[in-house]
Amino acid sequence: MSLLNPAMDHAATLAGATPRVPAATLEPPWVRHLLMLTAFAFLALFLFIPLLAVFAEAFKKGWEPYVAAIIEPDALAAIRLTLIAAAIAVPLNLVFGVSAAWCLTKFDFRGKNILITLIDLPFSVSPVISGLIYVLIFGAHGWFGNWLYEHDIKILFAVPGIVLATVFVTFPFVARELIPLMQSQGNEEEEAALVLGASGWQTFYRITLPNIKWGLLYGVILCNARAMGEFGAVSVVSGHIRGLTNTMPLHVEILYNEYNFSAAFAVASLLAMLALVTLALKSWIERHH
């Protein structure tokens, strides 16, 4: 049916005529094939070939060196720290994302556009700059540096700094998935539940949460993937202390700079596998949404 004049198409159908085909589907076959070839070429060049190269280099010397690089103490410490940072950052962003989306879609208040802009801030600020901000705040010569030193509290070059940097770069993901979804759903169901005597928590648990569960899970998956793969902000605040403050991306960088390519690609392959698992979960959610 034509998008330009559906009434004429309906009349043509009733008269036995063939409805007009939208102009967007009338490109010559060679145009469609060219577009498809271009898309697959970009995927092969920038995704498939680098991914295959990572696994090829990781297993280049065989299975035993691969396993040895993974179970090496510094590598295990990097894996553990990466999981800890993600395990803290993702739930915090989950709470923030749901709260921010609820606030922005269910209420009208002054400063609403400012809050939306601030949520998008990590998308526009370089991760390295965000790491430097924490250095200016919590560093030895920063705003709270003397106070932290006097109370023997370590933020930079320690786990708290890594968690803070990870939270900053990942907090838009859940909110940005939920805000358009909740806007499209409107407030009618929540208002009906409140009229029928449901409490705010009952309304959220029985009405809102089931409606946003797939978008929420999608945002959590993206947030977790970014948390485990973050490099720039974490690199600034970590201090690159082997076995203590190196996450997996930082450990890969150190191994590569030391020309230990086999071990570097072995650890990198773990990140690649995490990305593949994330992609599989994303596809599963899209199919069941």
State pLDDT tens for residues 48-96.
888 888 899 889 888 998 999 999 999 999 999 999 999 999 999 999 9
In a domain, 36, yes or no: no
Using 50, 70 and 90 to split pLDDT, how confident is the model at 281?
confident
State pLDDT tens for residues 134-159.
999 998 888 888 888 888 888 888 99
Angstrom CA distances, 281 to 83, 221, 224, 271, stand at: 18, 8, 12, 15
In a domain, 202, yes or no: yes
> Would you say 228 and 248 are in contact if contact means Cβ atoms under 8 Å apart?
yes
CA distance 218 to 220: 5
In a domain, 149, yes or no: yes
Residue 76 lies in domain: 63-288
State pLDDT tens for residues 158-175.
999 999 999 999 989 999
Q: How many domains does the chain have?
A: 1
In a domain, 142, yes or no: yes
> Helix 49-58 to helix 261-288 angle, to the nearest 10 degrees?
130
CATH number at residue 255: 1.10.3720.10
Using 50, 70 and 90 to split pLDDT, how confident is the model at 20?
low
State pLDDT tens for residues 42-55.
988 888 888 888 89
Using 50, 70 and 90 to split pLDDT, how confident is the model at 24?
low
In a domain, 105, yes or no: yes
In a domain, 283, yes or no: yes
In a domain, 239, yes or no: yes
